[in-house]
Every structure is written in structure tokens, then in C-alpha cells.
Amino acid sequence: MPSEPSRTLETFPNPNPERDYEINISTPEFTCVCPMTGQPDFATITINYVPDQRCVELKSLKLYFWSYRNEGAFHEKVTNTILDDLVQAIAPRRATVSGDFNVRGGLHTVVTASYQKPA
């Protein structure tokens, strides 16, 4: 089973689509590169979603996070992009992505974006 960074999120059928329920996935192992200085940034990413027909597969999510390792990424943009990619992949009923970035210049930044499926 090859393991390489990949921007593709694998999915599987939601085993219980008859019910709204929450899946919360978090990792302290997110790193990307500051587009201004080229230096590494570190964050804890937390995803919370209510699946509709598909769930995101955990191993592909790990590879997805890995794919940011050498990418320049602003805090605000990358958090929104992860949310957009998740919505694109699984069309959840609702989803929230939070990026909690390590202190830089004495400032601690957390960005939190949410999606709600149109009624």
C-alpha cells in the first residue's frame, strides 16, 4: 500500500446515513511553510463534520495533511482550503475546520471556518 503525500481525499459510504451524527478528527501533526519567510509553520488541525452519503477515509486524510508539508500557506487561506476540499470530497451535511497555529512573534492564532449544506 503506497504511502505518499496526496491532495486526494478517499471516501467510503456513510454506514448510518439515516441519522445525523458527528465525526471529530484532530491531529497535532500539521506543518506547512510560511509564504513570507519560507520557514516552517506548525498547527493542530481539527475537523468536525456530520456525514451525508460519504465519510472521509482516515489514512487518505493523513496523506492529505502530509501534502502541505512543503507548501506555502497562510493561516486563514489554508484553513478555508481544507474545509473546501472536505466539502468537495464528501458533501457533508455540515462541517467545521479549525487550525490552531503555534505562536509566532508572541501571537497565537486560531482560524475556524464552517460549512452548512444548503437546505
- Compute the least distance from the CB of residue 64 to its own copies, in Å: 11
94 binds its own copies (CB under 8 A): no
Distance CA 21, CA 44 (A): 23
Nearer to its own copies, 39 or 88 (CB): 39
Is residue 91 within 8 Å of 52, Cβ to Cβ? Answer: yes
Residues 79, 89, 92, 93: which binds its own copies (CB under 8 A)?
79
- Compute the least distance from the CB of residue 29 to its own copies, in Å: 4
Is residue 46 within 8 Å of 104, Cβ to Cβ? Answer: no
Catalytic residue among 32, 41, 55, 100: 41
Site string for its own copies, 4-43 (x = CB under 8 A): x---------xxx--xxxxxxxxxxx-x-----xxxx-x-
Place of cell 478555508: 80
Q: Which of 64, 67, 114, 118 is nearest to 89 (CA)?
A: 64
107 binds its own copies (CB under 8 A): yes
List, by residue number, the catalytic residues: 34, 41
